[in-house]
Amino acid sequence: MPIDFAARLNPAQLEAVTATEGPVLVIAGAGSGKTRTLVYRLARLVSQGVEPSSILLLTFTRKAAAEMLARAERLLGMALGGVQGGTFHAFSFATLRRNPEASGHAGSLTIMDRGDAEEALSHVIAELGAGKGDKSFPKKGFVLELISKSRNKELPIPEILSRESYQLLPHAAALEEIARGFERYKRGHGLLDYDDMLFTLEQALTRDAALLERLRERHRYLMVDEYQDTNLVQARLVKLLAGERGNVMAVGDDAQSIYAFRGANVENILSFPRIYPGTRVVRLEQNYRSTQPILDLTNAVLRQAKDRFDKNLFSERLAGPKPEVVKAYSDQTQAQLAVRRIRELRREHLPCEIAVLFRAGYQSYALELALNKEGVPFQKYGGLRFSEAAHVKDAVAFLRVVHNPRDVVAWKRVLVLVDKVGEKTALKIAASAREGDFQALDAQRRKNPGLDALFSFLEELRADPGGPASLLERAVVFYTPTLTRLHPEDYPRRLAGLEQLSQIAASYAHLEAFLADLALENPEEERKGVREDAVVLSTVHSAKGLEWPAVLILDLVDERFPSRHALARPEDLEEERRLLYVACTRAKDSLTLYVPGTVYNRAGGGSQPAMPSLFVRELPRECFTELRETFSGGLTPALQAQAAAEPRPSWDAPSSGGSRFASRGVAARQPLAADPDDPRAEPGGSPFASASDACGTGAMSYCSHRIFGRGKVVAVLDGGKCRVNFPGFGLKVILREYLEMEP
């Protein structure tokens, strides 16, 4: 029975499916039925009499190709064994294997896997003596990734380092020499690695005109999925295979090009019509996933992009709540608000239907802790949970030893960080420490200066522990040289995670409570599949291709989303914009964006004011509902909050003058708005005002506030108020009933 394509496809999809000759570019907006379009085009070609063996379907995963072929077979009711479908690398290897003489490699081809490549690289590094005795030199796994990234981006190694790993620039010359040695090693031993397959095929096709012509004759219909993710050599291979006839359909979305760090080049899809004259551009704009209010916001995000294909996503699902932009006081209270929102959403959705997305893995640490305390299971994708990260465990181990000198596990963890201390020695020293054998400990200290430094540091901490934040701050300072030695490739990222942990510690008065909450663990997550009882936490990169009824996005402030490094380069900033588009288009029914007013900055000495993300500031007000956190921890509409507060500039007023926070005035360090039923925290006057016992507790005692964390009462005022100094926030005057006083 013939397939009624017109009845099963919308007009844009039908246009793409029936455009079978010449170059076609399908700009497939998020949730617009891209895979369906490819499947139906494949089925239509075969139903029109095209030999399956003349179709080449290139994808980025074997699974995607297999799924498309299976769906097309079900549509047609026949097998499509003749269609060649698979990844670029699989196609390259199959072609080279059938034509070894064209590859320039005599005899059979030997392809190295990751383990083989690392072993070969080890030989090269040893032969060159690179980094010998230098503990800041990167590990071989990182070097291999760096060489691969340099090849795929077709950029010199120093340029890659200056963009992504500036701390390794002193090793640039040595790393370039290793890359050259690696190439010599592979050629000398007749080996190819994963990247070589693409470049070797390109060289074979440019050298062997007969082979190129045979491939063009065989693969007369070329289809490429996710074209926005192609790198430079993949785009050149497509051009070689398409030839003058240019019978190629590329399907993708320039607005979902978010893998530049892997070598993807958005210019490939943007320049497609120029490279292939006469290209028919088909836009798939009908979205089958999200409600129209969500799409209105995502369209607004894209509207500010510099280079793009115009598209306007629309849906038949017109009803639905507007996305919410929640202005939290800080990144710490943001976590509490997100947990509250998750509780609300669980009345309507299964936990697995709720996703919290973020730019970098460490940005979920506070939320992970809050979910653990609430007993809410979660699965995390993209980045380790804070309780699993080695650098977090290391830093916390110092605090555990101070809290409990008999904690052998913590002792072992801090001891093995010392140079020349192995596992057996660490256990021996830990046993001496637990038993109070000071003679044995002194002997070890005399033998190893590193141990002497460690014990001196721990003695200082025990003598003057301070609160959890102070302890952790000092532990991080002591640990940082070790961190840079152990992880020279990415210690800046790990330090950012420790900053986030320091911010969490600042909200605790007692070390025991802090360590207890850190130890609260989710049940071991099943990594084989989705758990219905677990909320999803994910980086945006790991979320691409997925969808959820409800999505929350954290940390929408400059230097976090967009990330700090992206603010320096226009092309990186544009990719960050596309990343937010991808995040927003994962939502089907509900979308919430969180904008903390302050973020913790260890280098700055506490919480610092944050500028709402450039992408949020650009959004038209009619696209979202703005809510602001109140002192009581609730949310109130922005207009109501502003009416209760003193006049101040809007968040989207451009900053003027030297400070990037100038538009927010002197009060930029203060939380922004209060609700009319709560007392506003006022900037304090003189810290030397006379104290009384009106609070029941005198000045110079400590207290906690749910927004500002732990502080010191410097004065007790009339009317049941206290003047409190909060680290990172300064002096505040707050009603006693909003403070939890420490005995």
Q: Residues comprising the binding site?
A: 28-35
Where is 354: in which H helix or E strand? strand 354-358
Q: List all residues 6 or more positions away from 35 whose beta carbon is below 8 Å from its beta carbon.
A: 64, 67, 68, 71, 225
Rounded Cα–Cα distance for residues 362 and 364 (Å): 5
645 backbone dihedrals φ, ψ, rounded to 5°? -100, 165
- Burial (Cβ within 10 Å: 0-12, 13-18, ≥19) of residue 439: exposed
**Tokens matching residue 326:** 């929640």
449 Cβ partners below 8 Å, 6+ apart?
Answer: none
Strands (E), 221-312: 221-224, 248-252, 280-284
Distance, CA of 175 to CA of 311 (rounded, Å):
43
Rounded to 5°, angle at Cα 207 from 205 and 209: 65
705 to each of 31, 388, 693, 732, how far by Cα in Å?
Answer: 44, 29, 19, 11
Angle in degrees, CA 60, 63, 66, rounded to 5: 105
**DSSP characters over 383-411:** S--TTT-HHHHHHHHHHHHHH-TT-HHHH
Measured in degrees and rounded to the nearest 5, phi and psi for residue 548 equal: -145, 150
Q: Are 57 and 67 in contact (CB under 8 A)?
A: no
Strands (E), 265-310: 280-284
The residues, any chain, with a CB within 8 Å of residue 77's CB and separated by 6 or more, are none
As a residue count, the chain comes to: 743
Per the CB < 8 A criterion, the answer to whether 738 and 631 are in contact is: yes
Residues that constitute the known binding site for ATP: 28-35
d(C-alpha 160, C-alpha 147), whole Å: 10
Residue 394's closest CA among 488, 476, 466? 476
- Cα–Cα distance between 610 and 597 in angstroms, integer? 5
Helix intervals (H) in 404-558: 408-415, 423-435, 438-447, 449-463, 468-486, 491-505, 511-519, 540-543
3 state SS of 28: strand
Beta strands in 39-165 (DSSP E): 55-59, 84-87, 110-111
Q: Is 111 helix (H, G, I), strand (E, B) or coil?
A: strand
Residue for token pair 């400590």 = 702
Nearest-angstrom CA–CA distance, 120 and 185: 8
Quick one: three-class SS letters along 161-182? HHHHCHHHHHHHHHHHHHHHHH
Name beta bridge partners: 375: none
d(CA 736, CA 704): 11
Question: Do residues 585 and 285 touch, judged by C-beta distance below 8 A?
Answer: no
- Nearest C-alpha neighbor of 503 from the set 595, 357, 673, 369: 369
